[in-house]
């Protein structure tokens, strides 16, 4: 059964949510699913903005049919070629054979590579670049290039009539939609913020400079609504300002919270004990925001997101194979891959005969930009010693 709604003058939501998916991009765990948003504009001409993932294509085609009624589909606008949005294009072309594909030249190359058995010479194709317009009637879409937010071919579009920005992956989030389509209908901080941060940091966290460039372009537009490809639609000025401000922080690698994040890898509990002893002392000394995570229990995508949130990071790890515990290694390599920077970091290693975690962690952390690394090597031999307690006290001074 179709599930659609008019979200603005002549603009209809035709996407949907799924909760069966366990790994987004086959890597990021999802507990509460995800939405794949798609929109139709009905004007003198009709335009579909994006298709959806295969998982909800049956609903999607019912939605399109219901919204179009007896009208033909004139355009498919493709902002982004990643298959979570582009997977249903071939099926769409089988049904709506007369439509014109509107996309960038780079997106068109990707389209041909993804769908090698489609003869695109039989379709009308309109290649667009930044500043080009697609006139539908009252609604005029102006295209804005957004390379690497999230792939290089990405375009956004701005509808001059309703002042709506169709923002592709930008301002999106994990989590399915629970009936409501708009951000102001949710308790966003409670229901979405952690997942929006996890989505941003893992998907585009590496491309802060490119996100900054898009935010600069967006600041020249009078935006009344933002329609992302995942998660709720933004329609109030306070929600738009709120999320743009979050993107400003995340894309400049600026912490949201002044606090200490302790991430540990522990085999038999002694490194875990160090995390708890340190946190107890931090609390005792008046630190307000402290969070502890175990790399063996918490997915790396969450650890990365939390590292972007907090201003200080303490890494505590067992040694392993003359290096560092594998899940700690995974985490620090992820920090490096996402250009993690502008933080205070301290390292505590643990080992029973030849501790090796410090050097292995330091080899990665020392390559990060704008990191204030605690200069003293703290080594635990199997468990916390009296000397370690004194070293923790000195470390706490550094973390203030
Ligand atoms: Fe939601 Fe980059 O695709």
Per-residue CA distances from 195 to 175, 188, 256, 272, 301 (Å): 7, 10, 15, 26, 10
Give the pLDDT mean for 122-146. Answer: 97
**Is the beta carbon of 159 within 6 A of some atom in ligand 1?**
no
Report which ligand 1 atom has the smallest distance to the Cα of 151: 2
**CA 397 to ligand 1 center in whole angstroms:** 42
**Is the beta carbon of 150 within 6 A of some atom in ligand 1?**
yes
- For helices 386-399 and 270-284, what crossing angle results, to 10°? 50
**Helix/strand/coil (H/E/C) assignment for every residue in 163-230:** CEEECCCCCCCCECCCCCCEHHHCCHHHHCHHHHHHHHHHHHHHHHHHHHHHHHHHCCCCCCEEECCC
**How many Å apart are CA 108 and CA 117, to the nearest integer?**
14
Chain mean pLDDT for the chain = 98
**How many Å apart are CA 321 and CA 345, to the nearest integer?**
24
- Please, how many CA atoms are within 13 Å of residue 332, restricted to the half-sphere of its CB? 30
Task: pLDDT band for 158, please (50, 70, 90 cuts).
Answer: very high
**Is the beta carbon of 198 within 6 A of some atom in ligand 1?**
no
pLDDT at 16: 98
Give the pLDDT mean for 187-213. Answer: 97
Per-residue CA distances from 28 to 174, 178, 303 (Å): 10, 21, 12
φ/ψ of 109, rounded to 5, equals: -60, -45
> Other C-beta atoms within 10 Å of 242: how many?
16
Helix (H, G, I), strand (E, B) or coil at 328: helix
Which of 73, 323, 133 has the alpha carbon at shortest distance from 38? 73
Tokens of 328: 């700690």
pLDDT at 54: 97
**How many Å apart are CA 341 and CA 365, to the nearest integer?**
10
Question: Taking a C-beta distance cutoff of 8 angstroms, is the pair 271, 208 a contact?
Answer: no
pLDDT in tens, 65-107: 999 999 999 999 999 999 999 999 999 999 999 999 999 999 9
**How many Å apart are CA 136 and CA 150, to the nearest integer?**
27
pLDDT in tens, 248-304: 999 999 999 999 999 999 999 999 999 999 999 999 999 999 999 999 999 999 999
Give the pLDDT mean for 229-250. Answer: 98
**Is the beta carbon of 50 within 6 A of some atom in ligand 1?**
no
Question: Taking a C-beta distance cutoff of 8 angstroms, is the pair 257, 311 a contact?
Answer: yes
Helix (H, G, I), strand (E, B) or coil at 375: coil
pLDDT at 250: 98
**Is the beta carbon of 86 within 6 A of some atom in ligand 1?**
no
Give the pLDDT mean for 5-18. Answer: 98
Query: Which residue is closest in CA terms to ligand 1's atom 3?
Result: 82
**Is the beta carbon of 344 within 6 A of some atom in ligand 1?**
no
Task: pLDDT band for 310, please (50, 70, 90 cuts).
Answer: very high
> Other C-beta atoms within 10 Å of 333: how many?
12
């Amino acid at each position: 059964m179709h599930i659609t709604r008019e979200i603005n003058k002549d603009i209809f939501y035709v996407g949907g949510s799924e909760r069966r998916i366990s790994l987004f991009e086959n890597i990021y765990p999802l507990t509460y699913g995800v939405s794949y948003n798609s929109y139709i504009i009905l004007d003198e001409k009709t335009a579909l903005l994006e298709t959806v993932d295969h998982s909800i294509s049956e609903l999607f085609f019912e939605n399109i049919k219901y919204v179009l009624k007896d009208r033909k589909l004139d355009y498919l606008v493709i902002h982004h070629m990643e298959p979570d949005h582009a997977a249903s294009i071939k099926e769409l072309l089988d049904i709506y054979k007369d439509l014109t594909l509107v996309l960038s030249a780079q997106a068109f190359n990707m389209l041909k590579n993804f769908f090698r058995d489609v003869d695109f010479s039989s379709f009308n194709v309109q290649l667009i670049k930044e500043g080009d317009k697609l006139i539908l009637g009252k609604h005029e879409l102006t295209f804005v290039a957004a390379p690497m937010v999230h792939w290089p071919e990405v375009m956004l579009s701005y509808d001059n009539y309703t002042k709506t920005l169709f923002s592709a992956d930008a301002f999106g989030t994990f989590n399915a939609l629970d009936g409501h389509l708009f951000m102001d209908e949710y308790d966003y901080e409670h229901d979405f913020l952690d997942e929006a941060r996890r989505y941003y940091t893992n998907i585009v966290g590496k491309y802060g400079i490119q996100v900054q460039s898009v935010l600069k372009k967006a600041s020249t537009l009078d935006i009344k609504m933002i329609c992302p490809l995942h998660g709720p639609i933004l329609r109030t000025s306070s929600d738009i300002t709120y999320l743009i401000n979050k993107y400003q922080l995340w894309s400049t690698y600026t912490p949201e919270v002044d606090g200490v994040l302790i991430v540990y890898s522990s085999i038999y509990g002694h490194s875990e004990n160090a995390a708890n002893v340190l946190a107890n002392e931090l609390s005792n000394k008046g630190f307000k925001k402290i969070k502890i995570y175990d790399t063996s229990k918490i997915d790396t995508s969450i650890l990365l997101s939390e590292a972007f949130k907090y201003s200080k990071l303490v890494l505590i790890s067992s040694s392993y194979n003359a290096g560092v515990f594998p899940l700690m290694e995974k985490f620090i390599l992820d920090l490096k891959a996402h250009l993690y920077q502008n933080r205070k970091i301290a390292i505590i290693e643990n080992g029973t005969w030849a501790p090796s975690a410090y050097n292995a962690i330091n080899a990665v952390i020392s390559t990060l930009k704008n990191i204030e690394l605690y200069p003293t090597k703290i080594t635990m031999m199997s468990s916390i010693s009296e000397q370690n307690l004194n070293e923790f006290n000195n470390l706490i001074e550094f973390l203030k």
